[in-house]
Structure 1
Amino acid sequence: MSKILLVGGGGHCKSVLDSLLSLNAYSEIGIIDSNVGDRIMGISVIGCDDDLPKLIEQGWTDAFVTVGSIGNTKVRHRLYDMLKSIGFNTPSIVDPTAIIAKDVVIDDGTFIGKGAIVNAETRIGCCSIINSGAIIEHECVIGAFCHISTGATLCGQVTISDDTHIGAGTVIRQCIEIGSNSLVGCGSVVVNNIPSNVKAYGNPCKVVM
């Protein structure tokens, strides 16, 4: 089995790490963070970003971005691009409790958390987060570097463009399109399309800035 590095040691790292430990798919797991020598859920922080080129030479073939995002994906972009440029494999990680239709396409670097449901003919772009309990119905398209937060529900044929955050508990009506680099606040009910580069929230959801 391969060895994998988790890059970022915060709260999102703990969610991903728990899924990895349940999957038992790697012979060894290490964490990359500034607090070298610490342990997170029993797993050692074995280096910082500067150590990554050395670690790939030591047989750490896979790496995964475990820095979360709420409305700002710049750090995730930087880390993902760095891992790819060094030559790491960046797998997708799907918690064993998630329910994924057999024809769903999940690009690399994406995490799907506990109890999430992703239905038929959905596509999810690279380095996105589908968090615990999210429901993504049939024929949805989720872009790269998106975050569909805990308990959000996307009805059929919803499109979420790149770098967009959908807050916890949000419900999005079927066939809605949400632009890139936007943030939809938690608990919103989205019944109309939302453009790019805005913040929106409410019931019904409206652009606020």
Structure 2
Amino acid sequence: MKKKLVIYGVGKFAEYVGYVFENDTDYKVISYCIEDEFLKQNSFCNKPLTSFENLNDEFPPDEFSIFIAVGNNKIRERLYNRATELGYNFPSYISTKSSHWENLIIGKNVFIDEGCVLQPFISISDNTILFTSQIGHHTRIGKHTLISGSKTGGNVEIGDHCYLGLNASIKQNVEIASGTIIGMGCIIEKNVLESSVFTHKGTTKRNLDANQISRLFLK
């Protein structure tokens, strides 16, 4: 009998997550959920759509698990923390079509898609997403991080709340401090300070606010 799962989200990523959990795991998606301010309909992907605020009443944590399918690291962290407070368990997803070794260590609410190639001795902390990335041996990846189409050498350390974009490359033995954003096509060859931002035009001022960061990557 399949285990029962609720997915937070109503975007393309949530649809993708629902599809792979139903077709590549022992979980069955029972419902999707979203916060009240975004609740504009009562169904999503032919499943019920319910209020996240009322989730505990409709889908109690002793019967249902939840997966937070949100790309934004800060929002995903907030929802993950709230669901943790409510007592929910979080499954992680490792695609059976990905390449990885048995000594891979992962936390909760981790997503590893079918395009990932992971060498031995890798650890990935809670609430982190990997899309189509190649990760070198002995690499450690922190919490609430998103890595999309990137590549690392061996023995790389990536902190919490980081974002690595398409075709970004990290040299072996490099430390990427927490809060770092590395944009599409960037090559990082030395240790990175906390909250640094890199674009194809070079290093950008550290400690940018969310709106400034959005303007950099949405032009």
Q: Normalising by structure 2, what TM-score?
A: 0.85
* 1:2 pairs with 2:29: no
Residue number in structure 1 paired with 2:78:
78
Relative CO higher for 1 or 2, CA cutoff 8 Å, sep ≥ 6? 1
CA RMSD of aligned residues (A): 1.7
24 and 93 in structure 1: CA distance in 2 versus 1, 3 angstrom threshold: closer
Residue number in structure 2 paired with 1:153:
151
Q: Normalising by structure 1, what TM-score?
A: 0.89
CA–CA separation in structure 1 for the residues paired with 2:130 and 2:157: 14
CA–CA separation in structure 2 for the residues paired with 1:110 and 1:58: 19
Residue number in structure 1 paired with 2:166:
168
Q: Which secondary structure does the structure 2 equivalent of 1:57 belong to?
A: coil
CA–CA separation in structure 2 for the residues paired with 1:76 and 1:111: 12
Residue number in structure 2 paired with 1:88:
88
What is the identity, as a one-letter code, of the residue corresponding to 1:26? Y
CA–CA separation in structure 1 for the residues paired with 2:42 and 2:95: 27
Contact 2:167 2:186 in 1 (8 A): yes
CA–CA separation in structure 1 for the residues paired with 2:28 and 2:43: 20
Q: Residue 18 of structure 1: CA displacement?
A: 2.3
Contact 2:61 2:87 in 1 (8 A): no
1:47-196 matches, within 5 Å, as 47-57=50-60, 60-69=63-72, 73-131=73-131, 133-149=132-148, 151-196=149-194
Contact 1:159 1:178 in 2 (8 A): yes
Contact 1:35 1:45 in 2 (8 A): no
* 1:13 pairs with 2:11: no
Structure 1 portions without partners, runs of 5+: none
Aligned length: 200
92 and 24 in structure 1: CA distance in 2 versus 1, 3 angstrom threshold: closer
Q: Residue 91 of structure 1: CA displacement?
A: 1.3
Which consecutive segments of 4 or more residues in structure 1 shift more than 4 A?
none
CA–CA separation in structure 2 for the residues paired with 1:8 and 1:60: 20
Q: Residue 30 of structure 1: CA displacement?
A: 1.4
> Sequence identity of aligned pairs in percent?
22
Spell out, residue by residue over 1:54-103, the C-alpha distance to the aligned partner (whole angstroms, 9 max, x if none): 1333864200100112xxx2211111011111111111111221112110
Structure 2 portions without partners, runs of 5+: 206-219
CA–CA separation in structure 2 for the residues paired with 1:58 and 1:156: 38
Contact 2:151 2:169 in 1 (8 A): yes
What is the identity, as a one-letter code, of the residue corresponding to 1:165? Y
CA–CA separation in structure 1 for the residues paired with 2:69 and 2:150: 20
What is the identity, as a one-letter code, of the residue corresponding to 1:2? K
Spell out, residue by residue over 1:1-53, the C-alpha distance to the aligned partner (whole angstroms, 9 max, x if none): 2210111111221221222122141244311122342322x4x1430111211
